Structure 1
Amino acid sequence: MNKLEKLNNVITAMITPFTEDFIIDEEEYRKFIRFQIDNGCQPLTMGTTGESATLSHEEHHDAMDIAIDEGKKSGKDPFILAGCGSNSTKEAISLCHYAENAGADGCLVVVPYYNKPVQHSLIDHFSTVADSISLPIILYNVPSRTGR
């Protein structure tokens, strides 16, 4: 089966558990990922529900690495969709490059949500990100920011 064929269902974003000290709770995150895998959730998606906008780059990388590692350990070859969006095209590209090199299967790229760009700027943003990597990207639309 082509891994893209695993994207034929509802895609839900995973949560990212934190300790009381506001660091990723790796043990609980791994348990949650295994629960997702064992119950057939595809793809494993690190999106806004997982606090991607509030993570440092190091934490974002750690979250990707943990999800990719658990996916490999499961033996079920889940599709790993890494949340790589940012208000900055340059930052989104950096996150996508990291995801690609770490072994993700695709990137979820959110619209730059802070400054509400016009349509041609959105096209430029997503095209530039997509052209920078070989992975497929899924565009994450926020209608209040895109007008659509």
Structure 2
Amino acid sequence: MILHNVAIDIAVLRQFLIKSHYFMSYDPVKETVKLSVNDGGGGESILEIRDASWEAAQRLAELLDLKPTDDMPNPTSWSRYIPTLKICHDGSPLADMIEQKLYRSKIPFKVVRNCPEFEFRSDARYTMSSYDRKGLEKEALRQIEEIERDYKEILSTKP
């Protein structure tokens, strides 16, 4: 996509943003488009385009598959949230196996190392601890299957 003198490789930008909550705003007074991202470590501005029209901002939002955050006929803010699973890795072979399985599934996740116990965290929906290792692998695989089902739609769409 070309905005004035700026060429944006949308495919690369989408791939970069796959593990994030990203949002875009348009300031009609300043004619500025601002794309920001928050991957759990605090929000950061990625891109600012000046002297841009609302139509250009709308087109960029469509290409990035961002949805309007308000019900206005000409929205000025758009967003897309892709939940990221966090796994607390205790260094065990089970934690390694789960990390590899999630990686192969292309499910967005972050690893926190040196934890006293292994657990999943995604808005506290998937949780397991290592207090009792009996049957833990089976439970982990069951939860990964549930996660894959939950993420199926997200993973099959444009980021």
Q: Which has a greater percent of helix?
A: 1
TM-score with structure 1 length normalisation?
0.29
TM-score with structure 2 length normalisation?
0.27
Q: Which has a greater percent of strand?
A: 2
Larger Rg: 2
